[in-house]
Structure 1
Amino acid sequence: MTTKEILQYVKNHASGKVKIAYVDIDGVLRGKYISAKKFLNIAEKDTSFCDVIFGWDAVDVAYDNCAYTGWQTGYPDAPARIDLTTFRKIPWENDLPFFLGALVDAAGNPAAVCPRQLLKKVLGDAQQMGYHPVSAQEFEWYNFSETPQTAADKGFHNLEPLTPGMFGYSILRSTLKNSFFTDLFEDLRKFDVPLEGIHTETGPGTYEAAIEYSDLITAADRATLFKTAVKEIAYRHGIMATFMAKINETLPGCGGHVHQSLMDKTGKKNVFYDARDKQQISQTFRQYIAGQLYCLPFILPMFAPTINSYKRLVEGAWAPTTLTWGIDNRTVALRVLQQSAAACRLETRVIGADVNPYLAMAAAVASGLYGIRHQLKLVQPAQVGNGYLETDYGVLPRTLEQATAAMKASPVAHELFGERFTGHFVSTREWEWKQHLKTVTDWELKRYFEII
């Protein structure tokens, strides 16, 4: 639709309102409903939004260690812009008009702390190098026959899974709650988050969905909207969906793998593919892989941002632990798929479902470009067999504290993302670790209450 048609749709919608949202550092959509009249007044010029969305954590506790905003600034409104190209109709809200926005600074430049703006910076870097990145994300998540109230009343213990038992790729289980399954596929398509496929995963009430490939910004928009849309559609069916990386030590974790390719500037040729090569991958692709392997230990919090993320990154749980790559190997950090020029791509498997998609895609593409820019050589061979056993080239940090310290100390993140973003993001991850240290866990009570 043209800008004129979009604005006319907003004007004519019977509800008289619009839904807008911005993405915070944790990938959570923060927004509100505004009147159609107000929206039409701000649609093509700057607006504002409270900068507290980058001054507190996922549960609205204010940071005490961040310079961007805080009690010291009084949490003012930050300049912001609505992106009319993100226009969508929300099918489960009577086709209500919806838009994403992003923060800017006082001079109208992209705000350094804004994840969507960071991804645009990385896209610009790729374009300057003559590349057009395309990407898609896939998610695994658990579904429970609960409401927010019943889950809270139970202390998030002994929740009833949507379906019992382990039954991955089950045609049978997908019929058990087919109205939910069908609504996910159809409503997401109407919401311009089209899926390539959806199926049950191994785990009680677990689904996996792959979003269609698109340009980099659209891919991140779709992935971010996917997570919230799934939760909202689930609510309508009396279901709670969670994208936690690991909900139980005895069950598989939830991945949020990002697939990526680089096209040439025309957008027609996949520069990762080389039919003449024995492995069918180009020298550019090898440098891209080498860049991600080199940068991974220094950017891991952008792929694994929470305390819980690292409970997923354990041996034998369908998530990597080593700095490895391989051809169609699901035990390594970086899985190469190269069957054809159209489908040749890298799957970064470190990424969990709890990730902020903008930051995950920014980190994946930026670190790959780092390898191309520095002409890094892919010295290690493709891993054949069990990647958990290959530790010669390094292992991933084991905790958020270790990963954040590595990111803070290395110049790599500062080169890739800039000083201001890196400083803010690192501070938020240090805050997350500090909050965790205060908490007495169920594990501690069970282990120490009686015995010690």
Structure 2
Amino acid sequence: MNQEQVIAYIKDNNIQKLKFAFADIDGVLRGKVISKKKLLDGMQAGYGFCDVVFGWDSNDATYDNVKLTGWHSGYPDKLCFIDLSTFRTVPWQDNIPFFLADFTGPDGSSLPACPRSLLRRVVRQCEEMGYHAEFAQEFEWFNFKETPESLQQKGFANMEPLSPGMFGYSVLRTSQNSVFYYDLFNSLTQFDIPIEGLHTETGPGVYEAAIMHDEVLKAADKAVLFKTAVKEIASKHGICATFMAKWNADLPGCSGHIHQSLWKKDLSQNLFYDATEVNKMSELHKQYLAGQLYCMPHLLPMYGPTINSYKRLVEGAWAPTTITWGVDNRTTALRVINTTADYTRLETRIPGSDTNPYLAIAAALASGLYGIKNKMTLDIAATVGNGYADKTNGSLHTNLFDASTAMQNSAVAKELFGDGFVEHFTQTRLWEHRQYAKSVSDWELKRYFEII
């Protein structure tokens, strides 16, 4: 909707309140319900929002190492702006009107810490290069017969999964939970997050959903909204959904794979496809893939943003550990899918479901465009067979500290995203590492409490 259409909708439907939200650095939605007058007054001027939302972590603990905001600045308001084109209604909340926002002003200025604003800048660059980017992110997540209260009471132990056993692609399990299962599919579609496929994955109570592909910014919006929407819909059914990358050491992790392709602006041709080339990969596709391979170690925290991310990135766990690519190979970091002209695409398999979609998608697109701009050659051979064993081109960092330190010192990362973002983001990841380093885990208690 444009401004005139939004105003008409509010008037015609006697709307008195609306909801808006934006994603913080972790991809967590922060927002509020506002009055009709507040919405109308701020459409052009913006809405003041305390910038502590970019100065604290996912548990609202304030960072001690960021320059953008803090006690030194007094945590002032920063202006955020609603993107009216993101209008939708929330079907499980009495169809309250909802908008996404970011911190990009009408003059194009933006807050370096705002993930959506960062992606918008990358998308603008893509369009200036003459391309239309189509993206989609898919997610796996576990469902439990728990509530926030029961999780606290249990200390996040002995949680009851929605269904027992390892039963991927199960028709039986989804039928046994059909009320929840079909509510997910139907409500998400009504919320303008059309689902291409929804099924169980292997593991107790785990689902996987593929979101229909779309223009890259819209695809990222849908991915961000998907995670919160699933949690809200699940809560209606007495279910708690988690998007942790690896909640249990003995079970598979949860992926957040990114599918992508570049097209002519009129969508008349998939520029990744060339039937005359080896693997049907166009030269543009090869350059894009080469850029991702090259930038991968420089941008890894954008794909693996939490301590837990790296518990998933281990050998034999359906997640990559090496800097590799292959054709329809699920053991490599990048997977080329070339079934038909329309469906030829690249799948970036590093991200888990714990990613901030704006940042993961920005990393994928920016690094691909980097390869095109620099006319990079794909001099890394496709991996045939086990990608875990192919360490020819190196391995991914195995923890958040090493990955964040590498990005913090990377000239490539700063070239792609600017000093302001790289400094702020990597400091938040190093903070995350420090919180983990000083914690005492159950593993330590069980191993050392009595015997040492």
- The equivalent of 2:342 in structure 1 is 342
Q: Give the CA deviation at 1:266.
A: 2.8
Give the TM-score of the pair, scaled to structure 1.
0.98
Paired position in structure 1 for 2:299: 299
| Structure-1 residue corresponding to 2:136 | 136
Q: CA deviation at 1:40?
A: 1.9
Distance 1:410 1:43 in 2: 38
Runs of 4+ residues deviating >4 angstroms:
12-15, 105-108
Aligned to 2:231: 231
Contact 1:78 1:105 survives alignment (8 Å): no
> What residue number does 2:256 align with?
256
SS at match of 2:133: strand
Q: Distance in 2 between matches of 1:375 and 1:172?
A: 50
Q: What displacement does 1:323 show?
A: 0.5
Contact 1:13 1:96 in 2 (8 A): no
Q: What is the distance in 1 between the residues matched to 2:23 and 2:439? A: 27
Matches within 5 A, 1:277-356: 277-356=277-356
Conservation of the 8 A alpha-carbon contact between 1:328 and 1:335: yes
Partner of 1:114: 114
Report if aligned partners of 1:10, 1:18 keep a CA contact under 8 Å in 2: no
The residue correspondences of 1:170-185 to structure 2 (distance < 5 A) are 170-185=170-185
Residue 38 (structure 1) shift:
1.5
Q: Which residue of 2 aligns with 1:3?
A: 3
Q: What are the superposed Cα offsets for residues 356-390 of structure 1, whole Å, 9 maximum, x if unpaired? A: 00000000000111111111111122111111000
Deviation at 1:12, TM superposition (A): 4.8
Query: How big is the shift at 1:44?
Result: 3.5
SS of the residue corresponding to residue 272 of structure 1 reads: coil
Residue 408 of structure 1 pairs with residue 414 of structure 2: no
Give the drift of 1:43. Answer: 2.4
Query: What is the aligned partner in structure 2 of residue 159 from structure 1?
Result: 159
Q: Does 1:197 align with 2:170?
A: no
Specify the alignment match of 1:243 in structure 2: 243
Instruction: State the alpha-carbon separation in 2 of the partners of residues 439 and 140 from structure 1.
Output: 28
* Aligned-partner Cα distance in 2 for 1:316–1:10: 53
Distance 2:110 2:372 in 1: 26
Matched to 1:227, the amino acid is K
The DSSP-based 3-state class of the residue aligned with 2:262 is strand
Q: Which runs of 5+ in 1 are unaligned?
A: none
- Counterpart position of 1:63: 63
Aligned residues: CA RMSD: 1.3
Q: Aligned with 1:401: secondary structure?
A: helix
User: CA offsets per residue over residues 42-88 of structure 1, 9 Å max, x none?
Assistant: 12432221111100000000001001100111111101111100101
For 1:383-402, list aligned pairs within 5 A: 383-402=383-402
Residues 88-136 of structure 1: per-residue CA shift (max 9 Å, x gap): 1000011100011111479761222110010011111111211111100
* 8 A Cα contact 1:144 1:160, kept in partner: yes
Distance 2:167 2:135 in 1: 29
CA distance in 2, matches of 1:438, 1:370: 38
- Between the aligned partners of 2:368 and 2:107, the Cα distance in structure 1 is 31
Question: What's 1:436 paired with?
Answer: 436
> 1:361: which partner in 2?
361
8 Å CA contact 2:2–2:84 kept in 1: the answer is no
Quote how far apart the aligned CAs of 1:268 are: 2.0
C-alpha distance in 1, partners of 2:426/2:263?
32
Q: Secondary structure at the match of 1:450?
A: coil
Residue by residue over 1:219-244, the C-alpha shift from the partner in whole angstroms, topping out at 9 and shown as x without a partner, is: 00000000000000000000000000
Q: Which segments of 5 or more consecutive residues in structure 2 lack a partner in the other structure?
A: none
Q: TM-score, normalised by structure 2?
A: 0.98
Work out the CA distance in 2 between the residues paired with 1:269 and 1:107: 33
For residue 56 of structure 2, what is the amino acid of its counterpart?
A: W
Whole-angstrom distance in 1 between the partners of 2:85 and 2:113: 22
Alignment check: 8 A CA contact 1:318 1:331 kept: yes
Letter in 2 for 1:80: C
- Measured in 2, the distance between the counterparts of 1:182 and 1:104 equals 37
Tell me the equivalent position of 1:371.
371
Aligned partners of 2:240, 2:13: CA distance in 1, in Å?
Answer: 30
How many angstroms does 1:274 deviate by?
A: 0.4
Q: Which amino acid is 2:394 matched to?
A: G
Counterparts in 2 of 1:439 and 1:328: CA distance versus 1, 3 Å: same
> What is the identity percentage for the equivalent residue pairs of Structure 1 and Structure 2?
57
Distance 1:342 1:443 in 2: 49
Letter of the aligned partner of 1:34 in structure 2?
I
Q: Determine if contact 1:11/1:36 at 8 Å carries over to the other structure.
A: no
Conservation of the 8 A alpha-carbon contact between 1:261 and 1:346? yes
Count of residues in Structure 1 that have an aligned counterpart in Structure 2: 452
Output the amino acid matched with 1:323.
I
2:419 & 2:267 partners in 1: Cα distance?
31
The AA in structure 2 aligned to 1:373 is: K
Q: What displacement does 1:14 show? A: 5.6
For 1:2 and 1:322, the matched residues in 2 are separated by 45
Q: 2:187 is matched with which residue?
A: 187
How many Å apart are 1:39 and its aligned residue? 1.2
Which amino acid letter does the alignment assign opposite residue 270 of structure 1?
Answer: N
Give the deviation of 1:164 after TM superposition: 0.4
What is the alpha-carbon distance in structure 2 between the residues aligned to residue 432 and residue 107 of structure 1?
34
**1:103 equivalent in structure 2:** 103
SS in structure 2 at match of 1:314: coil
1:223–1:357: 8 Å Cα contact kept in structure 2? yes
Structure 1 SS opposite 2:121: helix
- SS of match in other structure, 1:43: helix
Per the TM alignment, residue 2 of structure 1 is displaced from its structure 2 partner at its CA by 4.6
